[in-house]
Amino acid sequence: MEEPWRILEFYSGIGAMRYSLIKAGVRGEVVEAFDINDRANDVYEHNFGHRPFQGNIQILTAADLDKYRAHGWLLSPPCQPYTRQGLKKHSADARASSFIKILDLMPHMLQPPLLLFVENVVGFEISDTHKQLMEVLARLGFVTQEYILSPLQFGIPYSRPRYFCLAKRKPLSFQNSLSDNKLLWTPPCRTSESTIITETSQHAVENKEELQTVCEPIRSFLEKESLYSHQQEFVGVASEFRSEDVLADRAALEEIDTIETNTSQHGEEVKGSIKKQSFLHEYVVPLSLIERWGNAMDIVYPESKRCCCFTKSYYRYVKGTGSLLATSEKSKLKPEENPEISSGKEMFLRFFTPREVANLHSLPEDFDFPGHIGLRQRYALLGNSMSVAVVAPLLQYLFSEPT
């Protein structure tokens, strides 16, 4: 295609889809982004200089969508209607209504998109919303390829399996037509080794994905200066907390900003000490929580090569929301080499920082949050985001021409 692709980005969030487009090297222009979340739009605007359309998608008409003359649509609709922990109401869930409205509009457009990309949770592929998606795409002459992939398959030590639908409107076609109209668990570049997924084979997929690639250790994704803590200070801070005090006093952080720039050694020592204390107070896991939920926590080490998916409730809760990091000096060794560490108290557990979660989502180094976005909000926005390491190669494959 000679002219740049014109692209619409639905449910744009904090911009992971757009970062994926950039990383994929797609020659395209995002002509509009859509998201109803005010804070997500703040982050998107902060990083890209453009504020997404914040109105209700359901007010759009087919004519409105035609005006954009978009070749490609990228969509990451709300996942709550399809999650394993949710009510699984599928299309009956109000949060699915905007995506269903988009599907309803497509047949009435004069210029439907040529390319479509949909991301969602595992479970979407067996929903009635998925059935409707497939019916609309077939009616409009699309050919599809579907995948369930995790960052683990791309060398990232992060278990976050997700469903992806790639669709091209005929006469466009995929480079590997053998994968057409199939649901696969291997990335497109290795489709010759793929296995078709059935509803009952998800557990097998999650086991097999560990074998796909030797991942980098978690250490590579951590903020280096915060990897290990002084143990006595750590224990002191953790012991002070009650379970309801997980969000620590931000006074130390605010004090950093009030310290005048001082090039003297004393000034630097003061600021360094405050930063260390503020870090401990921000991210330490209180001993009271370890005593109560220790057996239910997913604990990882700097040398681990897998951590659990971070949800939007990470930092608010410790059970089932994401992994916690052991920062004891002994945790420099691999877990199986740590017979002396027998309890959570000795591991000096902390939460992953928002920057570290962003790193595991493969967001670029220059990705940043505006200052007014609070800590809980940062975790929530990241929990609703996606893996650039997975999405970028899929978009590169989708936008490429057959050879």
Per-residue pLDDT 10s for the chain (403 aa) are 578 999 999 999 999 999 999 999 999 999 999 999 999 999 999 999 999 999 888 899 999 999 999 999 999 998 776 666 555 566 656 567 899 999 999 999 999 999 999 999 999 998 999 999 999 999 999 999 999 999 999 999 999 999 999 999 999 999 999 999 999 999 986 443 444 444 334 544 555 445 445 799 999 999 976 555 555 555 555 555 544 444 444 444 444 444 444 455 555 554 555 555 566 678 999 888 888 888 889 999 999 999 999 999 999 999 899 999 998 866 555 545 544 444 566 788 999 999 999 999 999 999 999 999 999 999 999 999 999 999 999 999 999 987 5
Residue 217: its pLDDT value, please? 95
| Secondary structure string (H, E, C) spanning 203-237 | HHHHHHHHHCCCCCCHHHHCCHHHCCCCHHHHHHH
Q: How many CB atoms lie within 10 A of CB 170?
A: 10
Q: How many CB atoms lie within 10 A of CB 367?
A: 19
Q: How many CB atoms lie within 10 A of CB 328?
A: 20
Condensed to tens digits (0 to 9), the pLDDT of residues 151-171 reads 999 999 999 999 999 999 999
Burial classification of residue 333, based on how many CB atoms lie within 10 Å of its CB (0-12 exposed, 13-18 middle, 19 or more buried): middle
Residue 191: its pLDDT value, please? 41
Query: Which residues form the catalytic set?
Result: 79
Q: Specify the amino acid at residue 74.
A: L
User: Do the bridges between strand 183-184 and strand 142-149 make them parallel or antiparallel, or are there none, so unpaired?
Assistant: parallel
Where in 11-46 does DSSP place strands (E)? Answer: 28-34
User: Domains plus CATH for the chain?
Assistant: 5-206+387-399 (3.40.50.150)
**Coil, strand, or helix at residue 385?**
coil
Residue 289: its pLDDT value, please? 86
Residue 94: its pLDDT value, please? 59
For residues 32 and 53, give the distance between their C-alpha atoms in angstroms, rounded to a whole number: 7
Cβ distance 35 to 11 under 8 Å? yes
Residue 195: its pLDDT value, please? 43
Q: How many CB atoms lie within 10 A of CB 35?
A: 23
Residue 296: its pLDDT value, please? 86
Q: Specify the amino acid at residue 305.
A: K
Q: Which of left, alpha, beta for 204 (phi over 0: left; psi -120 to 50: alpha)? A: alpha
Q: Which residue has the tokens 């009030």?
A: 258
**Coil, strand, or helix at residue 321?**
coil
Residue 142: its pLDDT value, please? 98
**CB burial string 107-146: b at 16+ within 10 A, e below:** eeeeebbbbbbbbbbbbbbebebbebbbebbeebebbbbb
Residues 6+ apart with CB under 8 A from 190: none
Residue 390: its pLDDT value, please? 97
Q: Specify the amino acid at residue 129.
A: T
Nearest to 352 by CA among 321, 329, 330: 321
Condensed to tens digits (0 to 9), the pLDDT of residues 255-297 reads 444 444 445 555 555 455 555 556 667 899 988 888 888 888 9
Residue 226: its pLDDT value, please? 59
Residue 198: its pLDDT value, please? 40
Q: Specify the amino acid at residue 259.
A: I
Question: Phi and psi at residue 80, in whole multiples of 5°?
Answer: -55, -35
Largest CA distance in the chain: 71
Residue 95: its pLDDT value, please? 64
Residue 294: its pLDDT value, please? 80
For residues 113 and 65, give the distance between their C-alpha atoms in angstroms, rounded to a whole number: 10
**Coil, strand, or helix at residue 367?**
coil
- Containing 5, the helix (H) or strand (E) segment is strand 5-10
Residue 373: its pLDDT value, please? 97
For residues 104 and 98, give the distance between their C-alpha atoms in angstroms, rounded to a whole number: 10
Residue 196: its pLDDT value, please? 44
Q: How many CB atoms lie within 10 A of CB 340?
A: 9
